[in-house]
Structure formats: structure tokens, C-alpha cells
Amino acid sequence: MAIPLLDLKEQFQQIEDEVRKNFDAVFASQRFIMGPMQKELEAFIGNMLGAEALAVSSGTDALLISLMAQDIQPGDEILVPDFTFFATAGTIARLRAVPIFCDVDRETCNISADSIARKVTDRTRAIIPVHLFGQSADMDAIMELAGEKGLAVIEDACQSIGARYKDKYTATIGNSGAFSFFPSKNLGGMGDGGMVLTRDKALYQKLVHLRNHGQSDRYFHTMVGGNFRMDEFQAAALLAKAPRLSGYNENRRRNAARYNKLLAGLVDKELVQTPVERYHHVYHQYVIRARDRDKLKQHLDAQGIGNAVYYPVPLHLQPCFAYLGSKDSDFPVTNSLCQDVLALPIFPELTEDQIGQVADQITAFYNRV
């Protein structure tokens, strides 16, 4: 039986009545932008995580508006991991600032504090640590370095809502943090959506203005912002899911523990490396490092088992960033990860039997070769 990488149908069946009820309320109110559902969602997430929350149009826009709020200018350098989704660096380039790529930690795939320290110059303005796959980066080291150098820290927590670094939630540690509500995320909407979190009330007010074209009063603009507003239907859908987030995340953690147990023999033989959990991981993706990755992927494809490579091409090798002249030798860990990583199904509704089938097929592949 085929096992998808992600299946949202069962999750929707559990919340369908509530979603439709919320949608009916939107229709009745005829408030489609910045309405009561959005305000309720912001209050819920903000109270849950202990920060001011601002709903926006996407995770990408959450990063973009966060950079704008720091007054990032053309030519400013922003430190980012080389191994991450494109939007982390793309938002920097859109402001004509300069993304400076840093290598990552071999075990967690998150930005390396040592690499950050080597890349800081007098033009550096900010660091964007990405909490990749659902686990926090080493925020003590990053915040210490940022404090010494006077740098802003914008957390890309688009894959890590609900994850914790020690006793703090991701997106609440730096100056601000960004979430994505893309449908595949741990808290996914029914289209694009995102959120910015901050504990800085002055910064929050600036973000509020930037979200709506820099408008402080109707038709009065104190700055140039953008249209970064979340539509009310996305907020309505997310409100049905948000109270269930902790349950979704615990199911993902349960599924990861099952994989870890079933793949332990392959780990012992150094054929597979399962995720290393240093901090409270919410497993947006369960990513293994696999010997003969491409052949294993072909085998799983043939068996109807969903899988994906996140990410096959590092940022420093993307054609649009060739002008930066990055040295390939600066990124040994990233280059290795791009050859080895493979994501397996981990969604909350995945059954124990399905996890067993995936593990059996991976074991069969290595027994065969």
C-alpha cells in the first residue's frame, strides 16, 4: 500500500465541521481582511508562546517584514545558513542586501556558530538562524555573538512552531521570529500564511505599520511598508487547528521515536544516521542521512513510499547567487548533507504499521545491496 510523504485528508476530516463553522462566520461578517479571526489567532499564538504575534501573508513575508523592521539597507550583510529553504536568503536579496552563507552543524543541520564567527565583518547587520526541520539552532552561542557585535537576530522558525530551545520557544528568543503556515507545516493553513513574533513592543508597533503599507492612520504613511496582510479565511482555518498543535507535535515526536527504534540496526552499521535531538524537536521533517541516498530514494519511489530531498542544491550554488562568488570549500558539511539527506513520512496521522513498512523497505534495500 502506498504511503504518502504527507496526507492532510484525515487531519481535515477531524476539523472539517469547525473550519466550515468559522468560514460561515467570515461570510456572515463580510470581513475578509484583518478581521476578528485574525485578531483571535494572533492572541492565541501570542499567549501560547509568550510574545506579541502579528499575522502576515506568508512565511516569506514574515522574514521580509522582519528585515524591513530592522531598516536593512542595500549592501548590508546578513548571515544565513547555506543549507536551508531559498526564502531565507531570497528575502535579503529582495532588499538589495547581501546574504552571507555559513556552513552548518553536521548533526543538527543548523547554522554553525563557528561559521558565523568567521563570516562577521564591519558590514554585517544581522543573523538569521534557521531552526531547520523542527529543531532549534544553538541560540545561546548565536545571541552571545550577536550581542558582542551589535547584530540583530531574526529567527527563521518557519519549520519549528512549538519547538523549544531549553525553556524558550523558537521565534521568541531573538529580536523577532518568523513562522510559516504553508499547508505542509506543523500548523498549516489552506493556502499561504505566516506570522511574526517579538517581545519588543516598539518593534511590534513598527511591524503593525509595515504590514499595511507603512500606514499609522488611515491614508497617513510614516514609512514605506507593503501588503503583508493575512486574509480572514486563512485565519479561520488556522484557528480550528491551533489548539491541536501540541497534539500534532507530540504525534510527530512519537513517530520519530518509532523510526529511531526501527532503524537502530542500520545506524549501528553506519548505513543510516537518524536525526540527533539536542533540543525539543517537533519534526516538521524526519530527515535521515543515508549511504547511497539516491539509490535508496529510487527504491522507496518504486515501493510507493513518499520521500523527498531537502535540499539538493545549497544556496551558494544557486545560479541567482553566483555573483556573490562564494567558495565551495567554505561549506564541507552543507555539500555533504546535500548528497546524503532524505526525508521520510512523519505527519501526525501516520500509523505504527505505516512506519514499520517504511523501515522494512529501508532495511530491505540495504540487505539487498
CATH number assigned to the domain comprising residue 349: 3.90.1150.10
Q: Look at residue 201 and tell me if it is in a domain.
A: yes
Do 230 and 197 fall within a single domain?
Answer: yes
Among residues 244, 270, 300, which one ends one of the domains?
A: 244
Do 69 and 79 fall within a single domain?
Answer: yes
Please classify residue 253 by burial: count the beta carbons closer than 10 Å to its beta carbon, then call 0-12 exposed, 13-18 middle and 19+ buried. Answer: middle
Residues 114, 103: Cα–Cα separation, whole Å: 9
Per-residue confidence in pLDDT tens, the chain, 369 aa = 799 999 999 999 999 999 999 999 999 999 999 999 999 999 999 999 999 999 999 999 999 999 999 999 999 999 999 999 999 999 999 999 999 999 999 999 999 999 999 999 999 999 999 999 999 999 999 999 999 999 999 999 999 999 999 999 999 999 999 999 999 999 999 999 999 999 999 999 999 999 999 998 899 999 999 999 999 999 999 999 999 999 999 999 999 999 999 999 999 999 999 999 999 999 999 999 999 999 999 999 999 999 999 999 999 999 999 999 999 999 999 999 999 999 999 999 999 999 999 999 999 999 997
Among residues 244, 274, 307, which one ends one of the domains?
A: 244
Do 48 and 73 fall within a single domain?
Answer: yes
Do 234 and 285 fall within a single domain?
Answer: no
Q: Look at residue 1 and tell me if it is in a domain.
A: no
The set of residues, in sequence order, having a beta carbon less than 8 Å from that of 349 and lying 6+ positions away, is 7, 10, 11, 251
Do 280 and 212 fall within a single domain?
Answer: no
Cis peptide before 283 (omega within 30 of 0): no
Residues 10, 348: Cα–Cα separation, whole Å: 10
Residue 327 belongs to what domain range?
246-368
Q: Look at residue 209 and tell me if it is in a domain.
A: yes
Do 171 and 222 fall within a single domain?
Answer: yes
Do 239 and 263 fall within a single domain?
Answer: no
Do 202 and 350 fall within a single domain?
Answer: no
Q: Look at residue 272 and tell me if it is in a domain.
A: yes
Among residues 223, 244, 265, which one ends one of the domains?
A: 244
Q: Look at residue 3 and tell me if it is in a domain.
A: no
Q: Look at residue 219 and tell me if it is in a domain.
A: yes
Count of the separate structural domains present in the chain: 2
Residues 16, 21: Cα–Cα separation, whole Å: 9
